[in-house]
Amino acid sequence: MPELFLIGAAERIAELEADENPADVFPCMSAHGIHAEARAQLYTLVMHSFLDDAMQLEPLVRELTEDGPNIHQLEPSVVERLSVKDENDIEELVGHWAECEPVEELELDADDLNEFLFQLVHFCQTAYQGEDLGVYVYVAS
């Protein structure tokens, strides 16, 4: 299973069983093969931070088994910053993000990156407006 972004409450994330399909329980979106290092490059741009700091913005919150899957939470500060982005911001971010080496190696075109970021911004807006909701990353083993 590819990496998925989910919107959920911390209590429900804590109840998720290893054999449950998160797509049956939570609103989900695919990470489109955009791995953690490439996402950290995005967070660097959004948060105006160093890469080392951005690598910590998806901390592990739950190991469903020793061998995975694992659940990481997108830091609320990132969710907040992404939730206020509009289409022009997204296009500008993608322009800079596409030039980062880990993103270039993915060989995704600007349309794919725009689609991913547009969906992620929408997820962040939904979570930010909801009560006790967060954005999580489900990483299969």
The answer to whether residue 39 scores a pLDDT higher than 70 is yes
Predicted local confidence at residue 2, as pLDDT = 77
In the block, tokens 């030039």 appear at 99
> Which of helix, strand or coil describes residue 64?
coil
> Which of helix, strand or coil describes residue 31?
coil
The answer to whether residues 5 and 120 touch, using CB atoms and an 8 Å cutoff, is yes
Residue 99: alpha-carbon gap to chain centroid? 19
Q: pTM (2 decimals)?
A: 0.94
Torsion on CA atoms 63, 31, 129, 9, rounded to nearest 10: -20
Q: What crossing angle do the helices spanning 36-47 and 87-97 adopt, rounded to 10°?
A: 120
pLDDT tens column, 40-96: 999 999 999 999 999 999 999 999 999 889 999 999 999 999 999 999 999 999 999
The answer to whether residues 37 and 102 touch, using CB atoms and an 8 Å cutoff, is yes
What span, in angstroms and rounded, lies between the C-alpha atoms of 103 and 131?
33
- Tokens representing residue 44 in the block: 């660097």
